Chains A and B, each alone.
Chain A
């Protein structure tokens, strides 16, 4: 490893050192503020360091990693997302009785795992990153361990994630057995030189998709999503919905481009089925829910379905649409969960729809921000979600995926129903006596500012997306 390798890996090193620094800090004295400050500063510092790279940076650290524009962009996205999650965690955990300090270590480690995933070009580093991410998530989900639902969610995620890892490993070994390669490029080379792909290889790739599907929560591997979303602490839910799924998507984009998977009809058909099933199942199951976290869980299932439309379009257009969609989805999801977190009190999360009745008249700005997030999820103009949906539809139509685009349109309409149902509740004129009492008496400046910034980004991307579009165009 030479100096330029080291330079390229510095963002990961900063993250690891931040985790270690937190360890030491806890062993000296437990202090929520100090740990929080270390975490936030190191994430900001890391991001600033990241901006020193040129967009055309390209550093292969053979055989495991490649730090290129796409990777840097995704690392930046992960860092900022983690930063937002950390910011919203402070107020959330401050009012809870558990020991809060270790939470930040786990959060940083999870982010580290996701960062490794998005720059890996080899099965070993892929698996390493995935496990660092998953193991941290097991404990993060069950972090509020005195709450029953949190434990249940943790166990559920542990078992299913371990199960999916097993699938992934089996798939990898089958591929290794046929090709003798574990790096993406090598597998791609094998595929170009082979006429008929052996059955074992197909089985291996299929298992790989099953494993990835679990992580993404696509139908039919989605069973864990609503329970885990509901049970996990709200900031952790936000993290799962964004970083954990986004990292996997970025990896899939890299892997599929490396092996040129778009030319195999069986894969594209498989993904088409997964995408359509996710859209419909997610949206239809969300219709009757009364728990906001579960609604967002089902909505995330359908959004992964939309994302797969962009993913399936392939080529640079598809990759760009996927990336833009991820950015918009990250902002929106973080905002939505951030608002749930700020409205939660120390006994329970503000997760029932009734908690939001008449919110507009109690906390107008929060309600407007939340409506904006929901409208963005529904893909209504002026918000980032609209440009993202537009981009996905454009990518889909440009590559003649009419069936997928049509399903997307139908599902947007179904989805609209439950998004505006929530908005309608917030705008309800009837002020209920129960909800007239504030769930959360303290105004947490940090959380409010975070949400305001997210809302500004949401509108900015929705009104003037050109900057982000050309940035994404440059890195891909």
Chain B
């Protein structure tokens, strides 16, 4: 029930914020902060509970929704989802706080959209029913579209279209795959259901599985994004308002990574192994290409956006390395990238508020006038290039170790990619904060206010904590990741099956004897 409450709080909070915007422009902000804070508190409390279950599933909720199609409202929580929803609510509060002074136009509607995006994302991280998953997957798009399209920068309409159409098209391919899987499973077992745990053991011939997996993959690689499906990302990130960029980079991209871990690997183990070399190659290409592109940008937000492409390449590399350490690295990468890139977007937004430009060629020598902002930027630029002691280092290090055993060439190239990351991260520092002061064009420049420091400080603390003591996060995700790789997923709260042969997917499908084209 708690899981349902998490989503309902956001949905109703959004509606309340939307309506209260008519009375008062401060009310929506406080309602949003309150709603997200409740959720953050609940999820932290859940994380503090010791897991006494033998299965990795901490909680679950299953209600009938559309029984005619075997669709249930099925939520479940394991360590990976828990980490993800904590990240969601943490960045959610920051997103509200950062919009405090930035958004003045239709404040109520803005916060309505913000909370509904978060609700959609929470749903995606929790659902265990494939139809419901698609449902939430789409629900998070429309408010995001509005966030970009209404409150974005100059070229917002184009960016919003592009974002929406890319994600919709790939999402529909996933819907086709979901329905195809539904029928393949239904015809084999005569049990028509969208339940994740039932579909896990579906037996199908290789060809079918290949096609079905490609549909799922389409949605996830566009969202992640993987080269060459990344072209929506620089536009969307650049044109979105700061809160929008933060949510896009910090959370929306993570739904793609989460999908790869939660659905692609367990549902199609053999096929993922088969495409692993290609997928890893794409990931590595992304790492290098994103970094090179980032280096060449003059628009600060675009630069950060391309660095996301590069960082998400590590996710693709790590997931398809198919080793536990690499997956640990991926989960860490999802969290640390959300925080470090989010923070960089916040700083870009704060600079934009002050000097009304994102063009780095018009910046320079800001260190003297805004030392606090400069130091914080330095921390996150260092995080982005993978400096030991900060969270991103742990993530990338684990990913590279894990991938080494799977594919040495790829890992080598990826490591070289980190050198490029150093180049663009240092370029941010050099162009914006160091060098000759260009301040005469912009008169005076105010350093961070107390509110802004209060926003950035938690991010700094978390990224350092994750860098020096990542073990709690790793422990939380461990169980789920192991099950994913060992293909021994089972529905929560079922009697534990002792029989070691219970590895559904490795049992030859001949007993069922039904192959579908």
CB within 8 Å of A: which of B55-94? 65-69
Chain A residue nearest to B136 (CB atoms) is: A381
Chain A residue nearest to B149 (CB atoms) is: A424
Contact of B168 among A393, A398, A416, A469 (CB under 8 A): A416
Task: Kindly state the separation between the CA atoms of A394 and B175 in the bound complex, as whole angstroms.
Answer: 10
A103-111, A331-339, A405-413: which lies at the interface: A405-413
**Which chain B residues lie closer than 8 Å to A417 at the CB level?**
161, 165
Q: Are A416 and B105 within 8 A (Cβ)?
A: no
Q: Please tell me the number of chain A residues within 8 Å of chain B, measured between CB atoms.
A: 28
Q: Are B146 and A427 within 8 A (Cβ)?
A: yes
**What distance in Å separates the Cβ of B177 from its nearest Cβ neighbour in chain A?**
10
CB within 8 Å of B: which of A381-424? 381-382, 386, 390, 393-394, 397-398, 405-406, 409, 412-413, 416-417, 420, 424
**Which chain A residues lie closer than 8 Å to B179 at the CB level?**
390, 393-394, 397
Q: Provided the pairs A380-B138, A427-B146, A429-B105 are in contact, do residues A416 and B165 lie with their beta carbons within 8 angstroms?
A: yes
Q: Provided the pairs A381-B139, A393-B176, A394-B179 are in contact, do residues A429 and B68 lie with their beta carbons within 8 angstroms?
A: no
Name which of B68, B134, B141 has the most chain A CB atoms within 10 A of its CB. B68
Taking the complex as formed, is B135 at the interface, i.e. its CB lies under 8 A from any CB of chain A?
Answer: yes
Task: Kindly state the separation between the CA atoms of A353 and B26 in the bound complex, as whole angstroms.
Answer: 34
Task: Kindly state the separation between the CA atoms of A375 and B138 in the bound complex, as whole angstroms.
Answer: 12
Taking the complex as formed, is B491 at the interface, i.e. its CB lies under 8 A from any CB of chain A?
Answer: no
Task: Kindly state the separation between the CA atoms of A183 and B145 in the bound complex, as whole angstroms.
Answer: 53
**What distance in Å separates the Cβ of B20 from its nearest Cβ neighbour in chain A?**
14
Q: Are B135 and A429 within 8 A (Cβ)?
A: no
| Per-position binary interface string of chain B over residues 139-153, scored 1 when its CB falls under 8 Å from any chain A CB and 0 otherwise | 101100110011000
Taking the complex as formed, is A473 at the interface, i.e. its CB lies under 8 A from any CB of chain B?
Answer: yes
CB within 8 Å of B: which of A412-448? 412-413, 416-417, 420, 424, 427, 429
Taking the complex as formed, is A466 at the interface, i.e. its CB lies under 8 A from any CB of chain B?
Answer: yes
Task: Kindly state the separation between the CA atoms of A382 and B119 in the bound complex, as whole angstroms.
Answer: 13
**Which chain B residues lie closer than 8 Å to A375 at the CB level?**
142
Task: Kindly state the separation between the CA atoms of A218 and B499 in the bound complex, as whole angstroms.
Answer: 59
Chain B residue nearest to A400 (CB atoms) is: B517
Task: Kindly state the separation between the CA atoms of A407 and B104 in the bound complex, as whole angstroms.
Answer: 43
Taking the complex as formed, is A470 at the interface, i.e. its CB lies under 8 A from any CB of chain B?
Answer: yes
Q: Are B66 and A405 within 8 A (Cβ)?
A: no
**What distance in Å separates the Cβ of B50 from its nearest Cβ neighbour in chain A?**
37
**What distance in Å separates the Cβ of B132 from its nearest Cβ neighbour in chain A?**
10
Contact of B164 among A394, A406, A420, A427 (CB under 8 A): A420
Q: Are A466 and B139 within 8 A (Cβ)?
A: no
Contact of B175 among A390, A429, A464, A469 (CB under 8 A): A390
Taking the complex as formed, is A186 at the interface, i.e. its CB lies under 8 A from any CB of chain B?
Answer: no
Q: Are B105 and A413 within 8 A (Cβ)?
A: no
Contact of B68 among A393, A406, A473 (CB under 8 A): A473
**Which chain A residues lie closer than 8 Å to B149 at the CB level?**
424, 427
**Which chain A residues lie closer than 8 Å to B139 at the CB level?**
381-382
**What distance in Å separates the Cβ of B242 from its nearest Cβ neighbour in chain A?**
18
**Which chain B residues lie closer than 8 Å to A185 at the CB level?**
none
| Per-position binary interface string of chain B over residues 104-117, scored 1 when its CB falls under 8 Å from any chain A CB and 0 otherwise | 01100000000000
Taking the complex as formed, is A465 at the interface, i.e. its CB lies under 8 A from any CB of chain B?
Answer: yes
Q: Are B66 and A465 within 8 A (Cβ)?
A: yes
**Which chain B residues lie closer than 8 Å to A393 at the CB level?**
175-176, 179
Q: Are A381 and B176 within 8 A (Cβ)?
A: no
Taking the complex as formed, is B401 at the interface, i.e. its CB lies under 8 A from any CB of chain A?
Answer: no
**Which chain A residues lie closer than 8 Å to B183 at the CB level?**
397-398
Q: Are B176 and A409 within 8 A (Cβ)?
A: yes
Q: Are A381 and B138 within 8 A (Cβ)?
A: yes
CB within 8 Å of B: which of A314-362? 361
Q: Are A427 and B150 within 8 A (Cβ)?
A: yes
Task: Kindly state the separation between the CA atoms of A324 and B379 in the bound complex, as whole angstroms.
Answer: 56
**What distance in Å separates the Cβ of B154 from its nearest Cβ neighbour in chain A?**
12
Taking the complex as formed, is B169 at the interface, i.e. its CB lies under 8 A from any CB of chain A?
Answer: yes
Q: Are A420 and B69 within 8 A (Cβ)?
A: no
**What distance in Å separates the Cβ of A428 from its nearest Cβ neighbour in chain B?**
9
Interface residues of B (CB under 8 A from A): 65-69, 105-106, 131, 134-135, 138-139, 141-142, 145-146, 149-150, 157, 160-161, 164-165, 168-169, 172-173, 175-176, 179-180, 182-183
Interface residues of A (CB under 8 A from B): 361, 375, 380-382, 386, 390, 393-394, 397-398, 405-406, 409, 412-413, 416-417, 420, 424, 427, 429, 464-466, 469-470, 473
User: Can you show 5 pairs from A to B with CB atoms below 8 A apart?
Assistant: A381-B139, A397-B180, A427-B150, A464-B66, A470-B68
Closest 10 CB pairs of A and B: A413-B169, A381-B138, A409-B172, A469-B68, A397-B179, A381-B135, A466-B66, A394-B179, A427-B150, A397-B180
